[in-house]
Amino acid sequence: MQAGERDPHSQPEAAVDIPAADGPVPLPTLPPEILAYLDYLAFQRRSSAHTIANYQRDFAVLVDMAAGRPLSSLKLQDVRRFVARSHAGGLSPRSIARRLSAWRGLYRWLVREGKLEANPVLTVRAPRGPRRLPKALSPDQAAALLDGTPEDTLEVRDLAMFELFYSSGLRLSELGTLDLEGTLSVRDDEVTVFGKRGKTRTVPVGGKAREALQAWLAVRVQIAAADEPALFVSQRGGRLSTAMIRNRLARWAQLRGLPIHVHPHMLRHSFASHVLQSSGDLRAVQELLGHASIATTQVYTHLDFQHLAKVYDAAHPRARKGK
């Protein structure tokens, strides 16, 4: 098959009806200091395109709320008023916190560059919201998702991707940047990826994932362009986009009868909670996930407790109702 041809026996890669996490962003003209900061994030911090797009939206809101005032003139009370407006407008505490984080980073950089003397966002906090635990599949649901035989070349590729997600706890952006060879690739039962803030980490690849990857590599040549370095390619032969990976996973889960929407980060959450349930080693899970702080990983202890509580309720003779 020539590069770019469609496999006549494959399922079409049609997008399912799921909104993409990112898309066209109508932006006002951003001031030079913001554009310089975005360049810094993209080229020095190596932030992902998804992160940059989110920051653009957050900075567009800041410019809009400033209503023509220079960013250098904003004070603590101005930022607090912006937060109050966002909250009154129905923005969730989680989204406000993310917006403040973007603004805080911008002003921190401006202070460091000598363009401002103080950071007006430094002490501003978002309203408190209910703590949301990450959603994870049960071990049985994970098995139902990944067991089965692929029916065509594209499904061989999909199974390799999803096994690798679950086996190694990768982020969507990390899996999307993997290459066939080189530093960011799967070698010697390990996978090396670029994590957040441009940091690399190496994590193990399990047996099921290795088998699925070997099956994919055996047929990849049928659709990949001759000079394409990406490990996972579309039926057109080029690197598979993150949006298509999300859509293919949702389609895969629907075809296997899972009653919930499955997204890539859910496989990362499932990896973390299942490893923690089996090992109880929070530090190891932190390293595998690439979290800078153990506090970020500790959310999975709550998932683990939920699992233990269910076991207790089902097994303890004094916990069962009516006994």
Domain harbouring 301, CATH code: 1.10.443.10
Query: How far, CA to CA in Å, does 37 sit from each of 25, 109, 126, 180?
Result: 18, 7, 23, 32
Enzyme catalytic residues:
171, 196, 265, 268, 291, 300
Q: Is residue 223 part of a domain?
A: yes
Last residue of a domain, one of 62, 95, 112: 112
Residue 303 — φ and ψ, nearest 5°?
-60, -40
**109 CB-near residues (< 8 Å, 6+ apart):** 37, 40
Which residues constitute the domain of residue 220? Answer: 139-309
| pLDDT at site 273 | 81
Element (H, E) at 187: strand 186-187
Q: Is residue 271 part of a domain?
A: yes
| Domain co-membership, 148 together with 104 | no
Q: Is residue 317 part of a domain?
A: no
| Domain co-membership, 195 together with 282 | yes
Q: Is residue 47 part of a domain?
A: yes
| Domain co-membership, 188 together with 79 | no
Dihedral sign for Cα 288, 50, 98, 124, please: positive
Could you tell me what percent of the chain has a pLDDT over 70?
Answer: 77
Instruction: Find the range with the poorest average confidence among 90-104, 107-121, 206-220, 297-311.
Output: 297-311
pLDDT tens per residue across span 234-253: 999 999 999 999 999 999 99
| Domain co-membership, 92 together with 232 | no
| Domain co-membership, 278 together with 147 | yes
Q: Is residue 320 part of a domain?
A: no
| pLDDT at site 295 | 60
Q: Rounded mean pLDDT of the chain?
A: 81
Average pLDDT over residues 204-227: 93
pLDDT tens per residue across span 132-165: 666 888 889 999 999 988 999 999 999 999 999 9
pLDDT at 265 over 80: yes
pLDDT tens per residue across span 166-197: 988 888 988 999 999 877 678 878 888 877 76
| pLDDT at site 291 | 63
Domain count, the chain: 2
pLDDT at 80 over 90: yes
Q: Is residue 315 part of a domain?
A: no
| pLDDT at site 302 | 57
pLDDT at 44 over 50: yes
The contacts found for 315-323 with CB under 8 angstroms, 24 or more apart, are none
| Domain co-membership, 305 together with 157 | yes
| Domain co-membership, 155 together with 208 | yes
Q: Is residue 8 part of a domain?
A: no
* pTM of structure: 0.55
pLDDT at 309 over 90: no
Q: Is residue 300 part of a domain?
A: yes
| Domain co-membership, 190 together with 71 | no
Q: Are 152 and 145 in contact (CB under 8 A)?
A: no
CATH code for the domain in which residue 80 is found: 1.10.150
| Domain co-membership, 223 together with 89 | no
**3-class DSSP assignment, residue 273:** helix
